Structure 1
């Protein structure tokens, strides 16, 4: 394994710096938008713009890769990302932030796609699953570390924005200096919702629910924390605990779904997530120090139940698929997740407008409860086909990824073509 990591060490180092800056920005932007006087609905719409940009980047980046290759594409997108970050403190208009967050979505999804296609081209069927696991773990760890950087300064000055831009700019250096050959061009992402629906109704519905829930969280959780009087360290711990919960529970729940009906795992995970969300709604009224460890503990279990849904839905969608369909189905699932995330944030903001900050988790509780009922009814009325009894092993995949991450699954048939930039 160490021998396999050598040629991609520079790429993984660039990825670490990129996710450090991006992790900081994920939590910083909603708080800074609120401090700039944006309403909860406006903050949610900027989050929606980010997810729409993410989907657009998934579709546009392959064309850039075909034109100028991996290294120059990475440098261009990372530079654009850094420039956009530095513009945020200079502008306070809502429509400007809407456009800037859209560009950030394009940039980060493009960077994900470049990194993942490079990793895929540098791996083999024997080590591809291990490299994907290392990449997924690195993503989650660096995002958590980036969120802790909130304690370094205040969202009301430009220092944190500059710090995020610095880390993303540093990410350009290892990739630009690497002597390893970049892989060949990636194929354009195809979108076939009918194929996903044919393979699994529950998987596509689950991607929608996961998008609604996680999109609302990433856009509005910092606002929930601020309105419940969390200080900077409590906010960082709260968001990091959510990501940590998703990281810790993803593999155990995935392995459990390998042994039993994945729909049962999805059903009970959704029910548990709905109940934890209800605790988020009620406990702030009865626990005066909710912003400390009580919130972080709940966030850990909320992340463990909600941040894991998408990967299990993806596995369920591919259980009855052939290897040549794997990337196409997974790309459609990811784009569905992104579009649902763009819708989830403004819907959750409406709930917050009706009942206050706790409306965020009232919204997620309702979505998860709805999914529980759908899976329960579907499971009773639809038996799995016989060839679903033997399933492929679960592969951990974070939702912070581009379409080419799914090409790295060893089940996918790939014939990589290497070329120098």
Structure 2
């Protein structure tokens, strides 16, 4: 395995710096927007712009790669990302931030695709799954590290923006100096929602619910923490605990879903997630020290159910699918997740406007309980589309990735073999 990592070590180092800077920005931007006088709805809309930019980047980046190649595309996107970050404190207007957040969503999705296609080009049938797991884990760990950097400055000055820009600029260096072989070409993203719907209604609905919930979280959770009097340290720990919960629970829940009906696993995950959301709504009124360990523990379990929902839905969508359908289905699922994420934040902001900061988790709880009811009735009226013999093995995946990540799945190696034949 070490021999397989040596050729991509510079790429993984670049990915680490990129994700630390990006993780810092995910925490910083909602708080900075609120400090600049944006309403919760405006903060949510800037988050929506980010997710729309992410989807646009997934669709447009393959065209850039065909024109100038991977290294130049990486340098252009990372440099653009750094420049956009430095403009944020200079342009504290709502419409300016809408455009800027769209641009960073576009840039980060393009950077994901470049890194993922590069990794895929250096993978083979023996190490493809391991490389995908390392990449997924690295993304989550680096985002958590970036969230902790929020404690080094104030959202009201430019220090943290500059730090994020520096980290992302450093990410350009290892990739630019690499001697690794040229990556495989990235294919245009194929979107076929009808195929996903044909394979699993629940998977597509789950991707929508997952997007609504996680989109609201990434855009508004820092505002929830701020309005509940979390200090900077508590805010960083709170957000990192959510991501850590998703990382820790994904593989165990995935393995459980391999052994049982995935719909049942999704149903109980939604039920537990809605219960934990209810805790976030109620506990601040009864626990005076909620901003400390109670919030951290609750966030860990909320992340364990909500941040893993998409991965189980993706596995369910691919059950009974042929290998040549895998990337197409996964790309459609990711686009669905991105589009629904852009809607989740504004909807959650309406809830927050009605009942206060706790409205964020009231909204996520309502989405999850609705998904629980849908799965419950669907499970009673339809037989499972897959049994233990036809199920695909669960693979770890994160919503902090692009469509090219799915080409690293070992199951896609079948396609290459068939093409050679």
Normalising by structure 2, we get a TM-score of 0.98
Q: CA deviation at 1:415?
A: 3.8
Q: Which runs of 4+ in 1 moved over 6 A?
A: none
The answer as to whether partners of 1:320 and 1:388 remain within 8 angstroms in 2 is: no
Q: Given the superposition, is the C-alpha separation of residues 203 and 124 from structure 1 closer, same or farther in structure 2, using an over 3 Å criterion? A: same
Q: CA deviation at 1:392?
A: 1.9
Give the aligned partner of residue 232 of structure 2: 232
Give the aligned partner of residue 211 of structure 2: 211
Give the aligned partner of residue 133 of structure 2: 133
Secondary structure of residue in 2 paired with 1:245:
helix
Where structure 1 has 5 or more consecutive residues not aligned to the other structure, the ranges are 417-421
Give the aligned partner of residue 419 of structure 1: none
Pair 1:58 & 2:65 matched: no
Q: Given the superposition, is the C-alpha separation of residues 168 and 385 from structure 1 closer, same or farther in structure 2, using an over 3 Å criterion? A: closer
Render the CA deviation track for 1:317-358: whole Å, top value 9, x for unaligned.
001100000000000000000000000000000000000000
Q: CA deviation at 1:126?
A: 1.2
The answer as to whether partners of 1:121 and 1:183 remain within 8 angstroms in 2 is: yes
Matches of 2:320 and 2:349 in 1, distance apart?
Answer: 37
The answer as to whether partners of 2:53 and 2:103 remain within 8 angstroms in 1 is: yes
Give the aligned partner of residue 186 of structure 1: 186
Matches of 1:351 and 1:320 in 2, distance apart?
Answer: 39
Give the aligned partner of residue 149 of structure 2: 149
Normalising by structure 1, we get a TM-score of 0.98
Matches within 5 A, 1:249-328: 249-328=249-328
Give the aligned partner of residue 196 of structure 1: 196
The answer as to whether partners of 1:407 and 1:414 remain within 8 angstroms in 2 is: no
Matches of 2:218 and 2:387 in 1, distance apart?
Answer: 38
Give the aligned partner of residue 90 of structure 1: 90
The answer as to whether partners of 1:34 and 1:40 remain within 8 angstroms in 2 is: yes
Q: CA deviation at 1:390?
A: 3.3
Paired residues, number: 416
The answer as to whether partners of 1:51 and 1:105 remain within 8 angstroms in 2 is: yes
The answer as to whether partners of 1:208 and 1:336 remain within 8 angstroms in 2 is: yes
Matches of 2:396 and 2:388 in 1, distance apart?
Answer: 20
Matches of 1:181 and 1:373 in 2, distance apart?
Answer: 50
Q: CA deviation at 1:297?
A: 0.5
Q: Given the superposition, is the C-alpha separation of residues 305 and 385 from structure 1 closer, same or farther in structure 2, using an over 3 Å criterion? A: closer
Q: Given the superposition, is the C-alpha separation of residues 278 and 73 from structure 1 closer, same or farther in structure 2, using an over 3 Å criterion? A: same
CA RMSD of aligned residues (A): 1.0
Matches of 1:371 and 1:192 in 2, distance apart?
Answer: 23
